[in-house]
Amino acid sequence: MTTTSLERTRAALQAIADAGAEGARIFTQVYADTALQAAAAADARAAAGICLGPLDGRIVSVKDLFDVAGETTTAGSKVRHTAAPAERDAVIVQRLRAAGAVIIGKTNMTEFAFSGIGINPHYGTPGNARDAARIPGGSSSGAGVAVARGMCEIAIGSDTGGSIRIPAALNGVTGFKPTQARVPREGAFPLSFSLDTVGPLSRSVLDCAQTDAVLAQQPWAPLVPRTVAGLRVAVPRGLLFTQTEDQVLAAFEQTLAGLRAAQVRTTDVNLDAWLGAPFQLQEQGTLIAAEAAHIHRELLAAGQADQLDALVLSRIRRGETITAAHYVGVQQARAQLQTQLDAALADFDLLALPTVPVVAPTIESLDDADTFHRTNMLVLRNPSVFNFYDLPAVSLPLPRAAGELPVGLMLVGKRHGDRELLSVADAVQTSLTA
C-alpha cells in the first residue's frame, strides 16, 4: 500500500461521516479517536522498521456481538442497550489489537444474529452497498456494507448459517467461514453453541487469510502458491441449485466455463442424500432455535419478549417447543453424517456452487412476514449446510457488468483444511480477475 495507515483511517472515517444517517445504520459505534491513535502508532512502527504482523495498521471493524472493553455489546437488540459495559475485550479483539490492527468501530447486525436478511428495526437496516433500497444480507449486515463502501478494509463477523458469506455475496466482497474450532468465541454473544463461527470479510482472499491467521493466533506464512489447472471441483447439482435465479445461474455457469478453460476439472455430483439431510433432520426444529431458546431463556422469563423484533422472536419461540430427544437425535445424526460426507468428498479438492441462489431483494418486498421467512430460508439454505457439516467455506464475488447486482461463488473445503482452501480460493480469485 502506498498510503499510510493514518491517511487510510482518515479516509475510512470520512466515508462513514459522508454517509450521514446511513453511516449510523452501518456502524453502531465509531472509535474515531482511538482509531487515529492506533493508526499513528502503526505508522511510527513502520518508520522504525517494526511490524507486528500482516494486520499491523490495517483498518478493521468488529460486529456488535463481540465485546469491546468499556462498551455495551448490543448484539443488535434494544433489550441490551442498557446492559453493563463489557469488562474486557473478546479474545479475537485482544488478538487484533496485539497484531496492530486499527479498530475503527462496531458494525450493525440482525438482532441476536438470528436472520440471513440483515433487517434491524431497532438500530436501522444498512442498505445494500450496491443499492441501498435492497437488503444487505445478514446477520453481519453492517460488516458486508462497510467493506464494500470503503469504511474499513476488513470486517470481523460471525457465521452460524451463512452470516459472513451471505452479506459478502450480496455486497460483492469476499467472506471466509473457517472450521468452527479454529477461532475462539470467548467474548462473543452466542446464537448457537454448536454452529457459531468467527471469520473475516474483506476485498480479497489474501486479506481474509491474513486475518484468519491473526484470529487463530497462528504465525503468518504466505499462502502456498497454487494454480487452478488440475483442480478437482465437485459441483453438487440438485437441491442447492433449485430456486436459483437466472442471473445467478448464468454468472455461475459462465465462471465454471472459464475455470474449465483454465484446465479445472469439474464434475457434476449428486450429494443430495447428505446436503438435504440437515433440512430433513430438523423439520421438527433446528439446533439453532433450540440453543437460542436456551440462551435467551432469562430474557423471555423476565417478560421482555415484546421488545424483540417479532420476526426474531418467532424463531426463538420455536426453539422452546423442541424436545430434548429431538435435539440429541439431531446431534447424533450430525456427527455420523459429517464422517460420511467427508468420505464422499475425499476425491475432490473442493465443492463449488452459488453462495446465495438470488440477488439481493428490496427491503420493501419483505414487509410481509411470510415472504420474509421464505426468503430468509432461501438465502440461508446453501451456506447453512456447511455450518451443519463444519466445513470451511469462502464466498468470492463473481465478475459483473456495470449495473448488475453482486453474485457470490461459494467454494467449500475439507474440515480443518482451512489454509488449503484459502490457497485454492486465492488462485481461483486471481483467475476470475485476470
pLDDT in tens, the chain (434 residues): 569 999 999 999 999 999 999 999 999 999 999 999 999 999 999 999 999 999 999 999 999 999 999 999 999 999 999 999 999 999 999 999 999 999 999 999 999 999 999 999 999 999 999 999 999 999 999 999 999 999 999 999 999 999 999 999 999 999 999 999 999 999 999 999 999 999 999 999 999 999 999 999 999 999 999 999 999 999 999 999 999 999 999 999 999 999 999 999 999 999 999 999 999 999 999 999 999 999 999 999 999 999 999 999 999 999 999 999 999 999 999 999 999 999 999 999 999 999 999 999 999 999 999 999 999 999 999 999 999 999 999 999 999 999 999 999 999 999 999 999 999 999 999 999 98
CATH topology of domain 5-215: Amidase signature (AS) enzymes (3.90.1300)
Find cell 483498518 and name the residue.
59
Cβ-count burial 47-63 (b if 16+ within 10 Å, e if not)? eeeeebbbbbbbbbbbb
**Active-site residue identified among 158, 163, 192, 395:** 163
pLDDT at residue 252, rounded to an integer:
98
Burial of 304 (0-12, 13-18, 19+ CB in 10 A): middle
For the whole model, what pTM was predicted?
A: 0.98
Burial of 388 (0-12, 13-18, 19+ CB in 10 A): buried
C-alpha closest to that of 324 among 299, 302, 294, 280 = 294
**Active-site residue identified among 5, 61, 77, 139:** 139
The neighbouring-strand residues paired with 234 are 267, 351
Cα separation, 246 vs 208, whole angstroms: 29
DSSP state of 187: T
DSSP string of 274-318? HHSHHHHHTTT--HHHHHHHHHTHHHHHTT-GGGS-HHHHHHHHH
Peptide bond into 139 cis (omega under 30): yes
Q: Computed over its alpha carbons, how large is the radius of gyration of the chain?
A: 20
CA distances for 136 relative to 107, 149, 350, angstroms: 12, 12, 27
pLDDT at residue 264, rounded to an integer:
98
The full set of domain ranges for the chain reads: 5-215
Q: Quick one: cell of 61?
A: 471493524
Cα separation, 270 vs 280, whole angstroms: 17
* 154-159 sheet: strands from edge to edge: 27-30, 102-107, 59-63, 154-159, 197-202, 174-177, 393-397, 408-412, 350-354, 232-235, 265-268
| Biggest distance spanned by C-alpha atoms of the chain | 61
Cα separation, 64 vs 122, whole angstroms: 13
Q: Is 395 a catalytic residue?
A: no
Pairing of strands 265-268, 232-235: parallel
pLDDT at residue 2, rounded to an integer:
66
C-alpha closest to that of 186 among 116, 94, 261 = 94
Q: Quick one: cell of 370?
A: 411470510
CB 112 within 8 A of CB 292: yes
Cα separation, 64 vs 113, whole angstroms: 10
**Active-site residue identified among 63, 106, 177, 414:** 63
Q: Is 163 a catalytic residue?
A: yes
Length of the chain: 434
* Helix segments in 199-241, DSSP class H: 205-215
